[in-house]
Amino acid sequence: MLIWIVQYKGSNNRVILQMCNGRAPPFGLTCLHTKRNAHNHLILGMSMSMKQRLMLKEIQRTGWVRAGVPKSESVAAHSWGMAMLAMKFCPKHLNRERVLEMCLIHDLAEIIVGDLTPMDDTSTKMEDEEAAMNVLAPEWLSIFQEYECGQTPESKFVKQMDKLDMKYTAENYQNIYGLDLQEFIDSADDYLSDIDF
């Protein structure tokens, strides 16, 4: 039996990856990878798993697209920005390695779920993202859950880096493109009001 990984555009033009069984990929879909062997319990092996995770580089941040930013960053670029900020601002008492891991994987589920904003229906977001993480990277699920719960000092700090990266990116886009992105800056400032960066 063949297992196909296919890519297509879903609602809101989100890139969706899906595994399908069959002799050929479903009509009209782009085949990213196939595998034929008896080890299907490994899904597609480590190589395909990492390739799938790297698709985060291809998903644009929805908020910037909706705001009209011509060349908006990818979700992976946002995660990298957070990691850079965390390296600069991480307090000594926090577990720096855990902080950086959280920065890099906190949005990984968006490969499957998409980059949802407050304007989207987020009623099933948490369960959808947990299911996606179980498919994409079950070994990192606990890091993802720690971030989402936001109870540890590391997760609270990473959430601050999330907002700080959004603020700095909005300011950069305002300067580059002359757009009014004050709502993004204000949203970040509200969250970061007690912190001096």
Q: For the chain, list the domains and their CATH numbers.
A: 3-55 (no CATH), 57-191 (1.10.3210.10)
Q: What is the pLDDT of residue 170?
A: 98
Q: What is the pLDDT of residue 196?
A: 60
Q: What is the pLDDT of residue 197?
A: 53
Query: What is the identity of the amino acid at 36?
Result: R
Q: What is the pLDDT of residue 142?
A: 97
Q: What is the number of other CB atoms lying within 10 angstroms of the CB of residue 186?
A: 12
Q: What is the pLDDT of residue 125?
A: 83
User: Tokens 């720690």 appear where?
Assistant: 146
Rounded Cα gap, residues 136 and 144, in angstroms: 12
Q: What is the pLDDT of residue 50?
A: 83
Q: What is the pLDDT of residue 122?
A: 72
Query: 63 Cβ partners below 8 Å, 6+ apart?
Result: 115, 117, 166, 184
Strand arrangement, sheet containing 30-35: 15-21, 3-9, 30-35
Could you report the average pLDDT of every consecutive run of 10 residues in the chain (197 residues)?
45 49 46 44 57 91 95 97 98 98 97 82 85 91 97 97 98 97 96 74
